[in-house]
């Protein structure tokens, strides 16, 4: 036994426990979650009228007197099984807002709908993939003695792609501040689109909500230069939301015009800083707005939903956008497994976070995401369903039933998280088995469809 690896010895210890079968059931119920949350407590279901106990559950009868539940982390780099579940929920959330379902009217498919992309502005020239990177006939160097052009053809995997031609010329401070204000910039953009639509049809801006409602779901994605850009599904409904037809003037073309005009005009002023000045923040010049059409012309609804779902599971380390965990010291930045451009952004974030004028931005707490403080996925209230509703539907699907008139008395507390080495080994095996089972089931369904 002593010659066996620690994980194997721990796995044997677990297997010899009399409650191992029940522990195995718990791990399987989490889908083989790699970092489960451990809870201790009880739930009692009572008849609301008589007080009779209908059901009682207590973790004192469980292995280790605890219950394992999913960590629900969206990042595949942290937990593959939970990220897959999150991706599925994201797909259905976005798809429901495009074609209906999940208590959303199917009529939304015939509404004016766009898939838009807003980019960050330039903070300095960076190397690009594709054709000649940055050809310049006159050559020349910047004030720091570095070439201002590049005649190399970079491949997509070239480490130079996204890196500044001159790090000393690059505006790292504005880059970080743009990230910190990106959520507010989006909010102002949405307000500007509503105002632009109202002005285009002669409505007072204050009365737009009486005639139409703008709904959206957006994701933030990091480009190779480590700058966020935004993809969003934007839909125009009537004033009551998905069940209401938009006014006759609410067309996709008019919505496209409003998006482009608003992206150009949206401006945000940052607080004045003696060290940085007062950068003016705006969207980049590259704005894309494509109509989503019910007749199949334009981007496919399912493809858009699948793209969003795939991206939200990516960790920061996969996108070149920093790291997946917070940094607590300046030294953590030095040892982070990132390229020098990202490291410079992290250092700038940490430095600016120490200035009192930027205190409300909490930049040091968001150094690991280069100052970006928003969620990867956000949506407006009326766009579609919610993650909570999707989880409730999944619970009902596996047999959890709400009892009318019942009262729940629950007492739970957090007692830990993660696996021991042997438990992690077993959980990984369960996750692989479940993934293989899903793959075989998908192949069987395809063969059934082809055989018809």
Q: Is 36 exposed, middle or buried (0-12, 13-18, 19+ CB in 10 A)?
A: buried
Phi, psi of 2 (to 5 degrees): -65, -25
Strand partners, 118: 230, 287
* Residue recorded with tokens 């969206």: 74
Please tell me the predicted confidence (pLDDT) of residue 144. 93
Q: What is the pTM of this model?
A: 0.84
> What Cα–Cα distance (Å) separates residue 143 from each residue in 126, 150, 168, 275, 341?
16, 16, 9, 21, 19
Helix (H, G, I), strand (E, B) or coil at 192: helix
Q: How many Å from the N-terminal Cα to the C-terminal Cα in the chain?
A: 55
Give the up-direction half-sphere exposure of residue 74: CA atoms within 13 A in the CB hemisphere: 20
> What Cα–Cα distance (Å) separates residue 167 from each residue in 104, 226, 380?
49, 14, 38
Q: Inter-axis angle of helices 6-15 and 20-29, to 10 degrees?
A: 110
User: What is the rounded distance in angstroms from the CA atom of residue 23 to the CA atom of residue 8?
Assistant: 17
Q: Is 169 exposed, middle or buried (0-12, 13-18, 19+ CB in 10 A)?
A: middle
Do residues 10 and 423 touch, judged by C-beta distance below 8 A? yes
* Residue recorded with tokens 């920061």: 316
* Residue recorded with tokens 């992690």: 424
CB count in 10 Å sphere of residue 295 = 6
Low-confidence residues in the chain, pLDDT < 50: none
* Residue recorded with tokens 């970092």: 35
* Residue recorded with tokens 């990177």: 133
User: What is the rounded distance in angstroms from the CA atom of residue 342 to the CA atom of residue 347?
Assistant: 9
Please tell me the predicted confidence (pLDDT) of residue 158. 92
Please tell me the predicted confidence (pLDDT) of residue 307. 80
User: What is the rounded distance in angstroms from the CA atom of residue 99 to the CA atom of residue 91?
Assistant: 12
Among 290, 291, 190, 285, which Cα is nearest to 229's?
Answer: 285
Among 195, 338, 177, which Cα is nearest to 268's?
Answer: 177
Please tell me the predicted confidence (pLDDT) of residue 298. 60
């Amino acid at each position: 036994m002593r010659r066996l690896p620690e994980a194997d010895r721990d796995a044997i210890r677990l297997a010899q426990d009399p409650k191992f079968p029940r522990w195995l059931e718990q791990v399987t119920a989490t889908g083989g979650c790699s970092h489960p949350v451990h809870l201790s407590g009880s739930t009692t279901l009572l008849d609301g009228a008589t007080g009779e106990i209908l059901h009682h559950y207590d973790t004192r009868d469980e292995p280790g007197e605890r219950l394992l539940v999913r960590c629900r982390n969206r990042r595949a780099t942290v937990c593959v099984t939970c990220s897959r579940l999150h991706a599925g929920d994201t797909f259905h959330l976005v798809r429901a807002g495009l074609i209906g379902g999940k208590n959303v009217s199917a009529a939304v498919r015939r509404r004016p709908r766009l898939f838009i992309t807003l980019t960050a502005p330039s903070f300095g020239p960076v190397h690009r993939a594709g054709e000649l990177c940055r050809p310049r006939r006159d050559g020349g160097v910047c004030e720091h003695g570095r070439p201002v052009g590049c005649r190399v053809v970079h491949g997509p995997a070239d480490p130079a792609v996204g890196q500044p031609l001159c790090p000393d010329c690059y505006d790292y401070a504005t880059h970080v501040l743009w990230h910190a204000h990106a959520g507010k910039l989006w909010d102002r953009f949405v307000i500007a689109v509503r105002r632009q639509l109202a002005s285009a049809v002669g409505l007072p801006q204050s009365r737009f909500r009486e005639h139409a409602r703008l709904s959206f779901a957006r994701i933030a994605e990091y480009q190779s230069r480590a700058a966020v850009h935004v993809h969003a599904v934007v839909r125009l409904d009537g004033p009551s939301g998905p069940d209401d037809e938009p006014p006759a003037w609410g067309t996709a073309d008019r919505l496209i015009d409003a998006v482009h005009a608003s992206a150009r005009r949206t401006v945000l002023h940052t607080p004045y800083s003696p060290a940085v000045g007062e950068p003016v923040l705006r969207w980049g010049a590259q704005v894309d707005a494509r109509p989503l059409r019910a007749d199949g012309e334009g981007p496919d609804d399912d493809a858009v939903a699948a793209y969003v779902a795939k991206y939200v599971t990516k960790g920061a380390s996969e996108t070149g956008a920093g790291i997946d965990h917070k940094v607590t010291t300046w030294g953590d930045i030095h040892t982070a497994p990132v390229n020098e451009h990202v490291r410079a952004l992290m250092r700038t974030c940490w430095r600016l976070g120490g200035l009192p004028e930027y205190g409300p931005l909490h930049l040091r707490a968001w150094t690991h995401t280069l100052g970006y403080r928003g969620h990867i996925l956000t949506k407006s209230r009326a766009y579609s369903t919610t993650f909570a509703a999707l989880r409730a539907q999944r619970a009902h699907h596996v047999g959890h039933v709400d009892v009318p008139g019942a009262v729940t008395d629950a007492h739970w507390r957090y007692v830990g998280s993660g696996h021991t080495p042997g438990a992690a080994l077993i959980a990984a095996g369960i996750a692989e088995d479940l993934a293989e089972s899903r793959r075989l089931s998908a192949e069987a369904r395809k063969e059934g469809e082809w055989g018809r």
